[in-house]
Amino acid sequence: MSITRVGLIGTGIMGAPMALNLIKAGFEVSVHSRTKSKAQPVLDAGGQWCDTPRAVAERVGVVITIVPDSPDVEAVYLSNDGVCAGMGAGSIAVDMSTIAPETARKIDTEALDRGGEVLDAPVSGGKTGAEAGTLAIMVGGEAATLDRARPVLEAVGKTIVHCGPSGAGQLTKLCNQIICGLNLLAVSEAMVFAKRVGLDPATMLKVVSSGAAGSWAVDNLGTRMERRDFAPMFMIDLQQKDLGIALRSAFDTHVPLPGTALVHQLLTANQAAGEGREGTQALVKTLERFARML
């Protein structure tokens, strides 16, 4: 049976454009968010409001959740008015938040006890990917569940990969964040160096983006650094949360991550400067302060 009704919980920077893409794809979309005003663009486009996560889950065949952190996911899923309480046999929940792998497994167990199925499916691509419907989606859980949910995920993402059992999506996302963090640092260092030695940063970015140094971070973060545009595609506070999960997981498995730890500490300096809600590209300001350029 094809899925026609989809729910989305969490209409923030990522969730709102994802919900709009689901509506554009022809799904009947029900939404819930802690702050109803953030869901208004979705409601204006034809989305239906639900007062609780449970009400969303009761109404739809697939519910997507994308909220900030592990405690938020537990509250959305495990409270009396949570998603699990509204799931029935055959219903699917897809959590696209970035959370601890053990939290993903806990939610999966609870949903299975109620006859539902859960995929942990964190995403990469930021605000631009969410708006364009081109997110990379890293999926943990049963392959058969993914097959059923795939038509829904194709409305919000371009690359959808089954990474393994429950928790594998989150572990893959941690690898993604490790790479993103170090790319962010590389671009920030290049920008500060270019300005100090008298280069035009925009010209430098144009040239290196076409060569071996080209990357998503150069194209999307470097250009924003050059324009001094620090509005968040992805907030420093959220990146810090993700890197903290990665570092804790690495500690538990005795994996040294020296580069990741350095980026985490440098972004802490941004947070200390009151920049935690700015985009991750604001890391360049920490390096500028070190170089006495800001």
Catalytic residue among 173, 195, 206, 241: 173
**Separation of alpha carbons 8 and 38, rounded Å:** 13
Yes or no: say if 196 and 291 are a contact pair by the CB < 8 Å rule.
yes
3-state DSSP assignment of residue 227 = helix
Q: What angle (nearest 5°) sits at the alpha carbon of residue 79, between those of residues 244 and 243? A: 10
Can you read off the two tokens belonging to residue 241? 């949360």
Yes or no: say if 83 and 114 are a contact pair by the CB < 8 Å rule.
no
Can you read off the two tokens belonging to residue 82? 């949570």
**Separation of alpha carbons 287 and 293, rounded Å:** 9
Q: Is 158 a catalytic residue?
A: no
Q: What CA–CA distances, in Å, run from 149 to 111, 138, 287? A: 16, 13, 43
Going through the chain in order, the beta strands assigned E by DSSP cover: 5-9, 28-32, 48-49, 62-65, 92-95, 117-120, 123-124, 135-140, 157-164
Q: Which string of b and e fits 47-63 if b means at least 16 CB within 10 Å?
A: beebebbbbbbbbbbbb
3-state DSSP assignment of residue 170 = helix
Supply the residues annotated as catalytic. Answer: 173
